[in-house]
Amino acid sequence: MRVCLALVAAGVLSGCSDFEVCEPVATSSLSAMPERLSGTGLFTDSSMTVLADDVRAFAPQFPLWTDGATKRRWIRLPPGGRIDTRDMDSWQFPEGTQLWKEFTRDGVRVETRLLEKFGPRPEDWRALAYVWLPDQRDAVAAPDGQDNAVGTPHDVPSAANCFGCHGGRESRVLGFSAIQLSYDAPPDLLDLEDLRVAGTLSRPPAIGFTVPGNDVERAALGYLHANCAHCHNQKRPDSDGERCFDPQNSLDFWLPVDRLGSPRDTPTYGAGTLAFKPGKPDKSNMIERVSKRESGWSMPPLGTEQVDAEAVALLRRWIAEMDD
């Protein structure tokens, strides 16, 4: 809170709530990452279009909403590296793992984000965004983020804010997970079955996991898992630093693999009353918060400036059809 107020007083921020402040990232951590995207080894050619042989593309079945941006995602595991899946809800990646996510807005490559596992401990992750140059031939590290990057309305988050979302789960990786890859992905994208067959998982599940319910319930549970659960879950790793978007309430939208018997078995339904009133979307706190974009109040509080109208319609329908 004090940092926040000091920044407001200094005119750096126009206003903020205590939960919106994250620890600054150590300079040593940032300087360990290449200054340019070309230095990360994602692409092999000078026009940055040909992918390296050892990176594989993937897509989570329930994506995060980022104001309609198009995204591509890749992973590189170290040679022979296996993912420790003893905790199926929080995979641990081998040291040296890299994951990228590229954002295109209005046909322009705007930024590519990198997550890198640099050590053996679960918290040993570095995160940074690279903003594309206007000629689209490379992208440059942007530790402080950048608003309205490359002539688009897209805002690039600072390195500190990456952990506002990625710091909310022990794994740190949010979209390459048992739930998110349990679907039949197109052949050019990795899915859980590919990982099982390739022997990449330390304890492969016999079959994939199915989100329970009818189409509306499944879509709503998946949406809340992908867009809300990295913050709203009850297993957030402890941190004695700034609050950094830690909700400190009882909401839990995570979909643990052993709570998928029926929609009501999921923690999401335990969020009732605080987040929604069954049958009454207009009286549901959640609907109010996702229907606007007001700083310090709307949900999600980070990473979006435009209401996801399709999602609001989905969540309204889900709550309207819910029995008491």
**What burial class does residue 92 get, using C-beta atoms within 10 Å of its C-beta: 0-12 exposed, 13-18 middle, 19+ buried?**
buried
Query: How far, in Å, CA of 146 to CA of 156, rounded?
Result: 5
Between 206 and 313, CB nearer to ligand HEC: 313
Between 10 and 14, CB nearer to ligand HEC: 14
Q: Does residue 274 interact with ligand HEC by CB under 6 A?
A: yes
Rounded to the nearest whole angstrom, what is the least distance from the CB of residue 18 to ligand HEC in the complex?
8
Among 247, 270, 272, 278, binds ligand HEC (CB under 6 A): 247
Q: Does residue 173 interact with ligand HEC by CB under 6 A?
A: yes
Other C-beta atoms closer than 10 Å to the C-beta of 164 total 25
Q: Does residue 233 interact with ligand HEC by CB under 6 A?
A: no
Output 250-259 pairs: Cβ under 8 A, ≥24 positions apart. Answer: 250/274, 251/275, 253/224, 253/225, 253/228, 253/229, 254/89, 254/225, 254/229, 255/179, 255/211, 255/221, 255/222, 255/225, 255/229, 256/89, 257/88, 257/89, 257/178, 257/179, 257/205, 257/209
Tell which residue, 232, 231, 315, has the closest CA to residue 276.
315
Q: Does residue 42 interact with ligand HEC by CB under 6 A?
A: no
Query: How far, in Å, CA of 70 to CA of 78, rounded?
Result: 27
Between 173 and 195, CB nearer to ligand HEC: 173
- Alpha-carbon 155 to chain mean position: 15
How many residues line the site for ligand HEC (CB under 6 A)? 46
Q: Does residue 105 interact with ligand HEC by CB under 6 A?
A: no
Q: Does residue 178 interact with ligand HEC by CB under 6 A?
A: no
Q: Does residue 167 interact with ligand HEC by CB under 6 A?
A: no
78, 94 contact by CB (below 8 A): yes
Q: Does residue 109 interact with ligand HEC by CB under 6 A?
A: no
The binding track of 180-219 with respect to ligand HEC, each residue x by CB under 6 A or -, is ----------------------------------------
Q: Does residue 165 interact with ligand HEC by CB under 6 A?
A: yes
The binding track of 111-150 with respect to ligand HEC, each residue x by CB under 6 A or -, is --xxx-----------xxx---------------------
Query: How far, in Å, CA of 320 to CA of 84, rounded?
Result: 40
> Residues interacting with ligand HEC, by CB under 6 A?
19, 60, 63-64, 73, 99-101, 113-115, 127-129, 157, 159, 161-162, 164-166, 173-176, 226-228, 230-232, 245, 247, 249, 251, 274-275, 285-286, 289-290, 299-303
